[in-house]
Amino acid sequence: MIVTTKKLFEAAYGKYAIGAYNINNLEQCMGLFRGNLDSQAPFIIQISRGARSYTNKLMLEGIIRTADEVFPDAIFAVHLDHGDEETALDCVNSGFYSSVMIDASHAPFDENIAITKRVVDAAHAKGIVVEAELGQLGGVEEHVSVSEADAKLTDPNEAKEFVERTGCDSLACAIGTSHGAFKFSGSQGLHFDVLADIQKNLPGFPLVMHGSSSVPQEEVARINAAGGELKGAKGVDANQFKRAAELGVTKINIDTDGRLVWTRVHREFFRDHPEQFDLRPPGKIFMAEYAKFIASKNVKLGSAGQLEALRKLIG
């Protein structure tokens, strides 16, 4: 069942965070649904602009609609990740997405507000909810590369004004994470002090943490042992998700870790079976491993086991 992120956040606020997972293809979609049902968790499917153009935006939409039929017990939101205005409006008008992100965080404050407000007005007119972003994460977002030096943590006072003036439904905050597999070069970590101040200014308002892959060292070691070169990859400590949830984070974005599962499975498979050229055997292993990965992430997020309570709540 496709629901808005608003419904998911109402149930989760202050208690747990919902996993927001990016997918690009059929195998990820199958593993995603299985993993969430195995762990009895509600979830958010994230579709980036890159995912929409990987094949054709309708292709991924068709796969997800079919998964909804194949797994009728699943409760999830379909969300555009890091949309620009044009893509966000396209998704709003598509009738498929229940939630969109408008990411104008690279623009000056007033311009970010103006762009976000236009998307919010169009989305709300159709019952679709909007995530916006204030502050800048380090790392690479689609078409925008932000160096560590240029990354800018969210200002808690600006956050309050931003939410009031835009009417957005949730806010992605920069609190020290970055996208990709190389998040921290030294001892940097999450800025819980900033998060606590944002929550103080916006009590009860759902916050979003991007760039939250953990980049498990065991996964990196296996990839490197099978021919990869991911030296120095480092991520967010998943044991900190619970504290973030208590401070108002209701959505935690994870993409890179899923890509690492794919890379590890396929590198190891073809290293160990050099005679193979059928794509299905590693595909099957990947779907099972991805499902396992999703289920274990949901335990860290606290969303595992919440499905039935949520079903009762939304009726």
Asked whether 113 and 132 are in contact (CB, 8 A), the reply is no
Taking alpha carbons only, the member of 212, 219, 220, 239 closest to residue 19 is 212
Asked whether 296 and 237 are in contact (CB, 8 A), the reply is no
Nearest-approach distance from CB 46 to ligand G3H, in angstroms: 7
- By CB under 6 A, name the one of 255, 263, 287, 307 that touches ligand G3H: 255
Known active-site residue 257 = no
Distance CA 109, CA 171 (A): 14
Distance CA 84, CA 186 (A): 32
Structure tokens at 18: 């919902």
Asked whether 290 and 32 are in contact (CB, 8 A), the reply is yes
Structure tokens at 217: 């060292």
Q: Which residues make Cβ contacts (< 8 Å) with residue 19, sequence separation at least 6?
A: 36, 41, 43, 44, 252, 254, 294, 297, 298, 301, 303
Q: Which of 38, 73, 81, 272 is catalytic?
A: 81
Q: Which does 214 bind (CB under 5 to 8 A by kind): ligand G3H, Zn ion, ligand 13P, none?
A: none
Nearest-approach distance from CB 284 to Zn ion, in angstroms: 29
Q: Does 51 bind ligand G3H (CB under 6 A)?
A: yes
- Amino acid (1-letter code) at residue 280: R
Query: Which CB sits closer to ligand G3H, 14 or 50?
Result: 50
Nearest-approach distance from CB 37 to ligand G3H, in angstroms: 24
Binding positions for ligand 13P, rule: CB under 6 A: 22, 81-82, 179-180, 210-213, 253-256
Q: Does 133 bind ligand G3H (CB under 6 A)?
A: no
Q: Does 251 bind ligand G3H (CB under 6 A)?
A: no
Binding flags for ligand G3H, 10-29, as an x/- string (CB under 6 A) = ------------x-------
Distance CA 305, CA 39 (A): 6
Distance CA 288, CA 290 (A): 5
Binding positions for Zn ion, rule: CB under 5 A: 210, 253
Q: Does 50 bind ligand G3H (CB under 6 A)?
A: yes
Taking alpha carbons only, the member of 102, 106, 107, 111 closest to residue 83 is 102
Nearest-approach distance from CB 42 to ligand 13P, in angstroms: 18
Query: Which CB sits closer to ligand 13P, 50 or 62?
Result: 50
Q: Does 141 bind ligand G3H (CB under 6 A)?
A: yes
- Bridge partners, 47 (sequence order): 80
Nearest-approach distance from CB 314 to Zn ion, in angstroms: 26
Residues lying near ligand G3H in the complex (CB under 6 A): 22, 48, 50-51, 81-82, 141-142, 179, 255
Name the residues annotated as catalytic: 81
